Amino acid sequence: MEYKITDLNNNIIGSSNLTDEFKDELKIDQTIAQFQEKIGEDEILRSMDLDKRLLLRFLHSRQFDVNASFDALTAYVETRKANPHFFCSPSDVRKVFDNNALGLLDDRHPITGEVILYTRVGGWDPSEFTFETFTSALVATLETASLDLQTQVSGIIDIVDMSGFGWRQMKNFGPFQAKLTADLTDKILPIRFNQIHVINVSYLAKMAYQLMKPFMSDDYAKKIHFHGSDLTQLHDIVPRDILPKEIGGTKGAYSSKVWYDKLVATEPTLNDMWYGRKTNITTSRVL
């Protein structure tokens, strides 16, 4: 039985085959019930309004491993409590998108259906905005992407472009920033990174990676692939006709504007998800 893919209004827009174990809706419902039972055993989580759509985001991102999904949800709730400034409206971090520093590309992978995240680390100008602001823009991007069920099922390919990453960025990227990046993308947010391609790798880019590596899980580290300026192998994986010209594609110059406009349109949904529900936590848990 195929799993139906719906948009945010629950209109059916397609279907997708999940893994053999989780390909039917009955098995999915049973797993959600197991997840809810585990949540009910937690003093903090059981007091919160966690609907099935949220739980499904975590289950998809952890490939329906209930324990891993529970750990991610716990970390997510604690992060929102400790660092609420990372969960802000996209319009509050517009500078990041004005610098074309990140965004989802217009087209999915034509075979796998994965969305393509383009992260231009050189677009982070510390004189204009902090790394924390950059991180907030990333959180808004990934949270919005995870609302789409097809993206939950298919996951993300991240292309991290290190061109323009120099000492002015490196001196503002220390262990705190390294851990924050690794934790959010690997352990906290309800979205699955399938592949991470780091391109235009330099000596400083390798230094940044070495800072992050101790905070990564082994599975996450295995997803990272390094490329120099030769992008032939990248183009073997992601077709050139869906990529911008900056990375050898045929789609024209990259701009974050289209993605930013989509983010702004989802602001009411994000704000309701982050602040409109009974999600205030009165007891802190040490991670």
Residue 92 vs residues 140, 194, 196, 248: alpha-carbon distances, Å: 11, 29, 27, 31
- Are 18 and 153 part of one and the same domain? no
- Domain count for the chain, please give it: 2
At residue 218, the pLDDT reads 96
- Interaxial angle between packed helices 66-82 and 52-61, expressed in degrees from 0 to 180 and rounded to the nearest 10: 110
- Are 145 and 65 part of one and the same domain? no
Question: Averaged over 5-29, what is the pLDDT?
Answer: 52
36 falls within a domain: yes
Whether the pLDDT of residue 139 is over 90: the answer is yes
Whether the pLDDT of residue 17 is over 70: the answer is no
280 falls within a domain: no
Name the DSSP class of 2.
Answer: P
Q: What proportion of the chain, given as a percentage, has pLDDT over 90?
A: 79
Beta bridge partners of 224: 196
At residue 234, the pLDDT reads 97
- Are 202 and 190 part of one and the same domain? yes
Residue with tokens 């391109």: 199
- Are 95 and 140 part of one and the same domain? yes
- Are 76 and 188 part of one and the same domain? no
Q: What is the pLDDT of residues 78-132, one digit of tens each?
A: 999 999 999 999 999 999 999 999 999 999 999 999 999 999 999 999 999 999 9
- Are 211 and 148 part of one and the same domain? yes
Predicted model pTM: 0.87
- CA nearest neighbour of 142 among 95, 191, 77, 206: 191
178 falls within a domain: yes
Q: What proportion of the chain, given as a percentage, has pLDDT over 70?
A: 87
At residue 287, the pLDDT reads 24
Q: What is the pLDDT of residues 153-183, one digit of tens each?
A: 999 999 999 999 999 999 999 999 999 999 9
287 falls within a domain: no
* Residue 116 belongs to domain with CATH number: 3.40.525.10
- Are 120 and 44 part of one and the same domain? no
- Are 44 and 102 part of one and the same domain? no
Q: What's the chain's average pLDDT?
A: 88
At residue 26, the pLDDT reads 77
Q: What is the pLDDT of residues 195-223, one digit of tens each?
A: 999 999 999 999 999 999 999 999 999 99
- Are 200 and 121 part of one and the same domain? yes
- Are 81 and 108 part of one and the same domain? no
Backbone angles phi, psi at 42, to 5 degrees: -100, 125
Domain that holds residue 39: 3-85+269-275
236 falls within a domain: yes
285 falls within a domain: no
Higher pLDDT, 13 or 20: 20
- Are 121 and 246 part of one and the same domain? yes
- Are 179 and 237 part of one and the same domain? yes
214 falls within a domain: yes
Q: What is the pLDDT of residues 229-281, one digit of tens each?
A: 999 999 999 999 999 999 999 999 999 999 999 999 999 888 888 876 544 43
* Residue 20 belongs to domain with CATH number: 1.10.8
286 falls within a domain: no
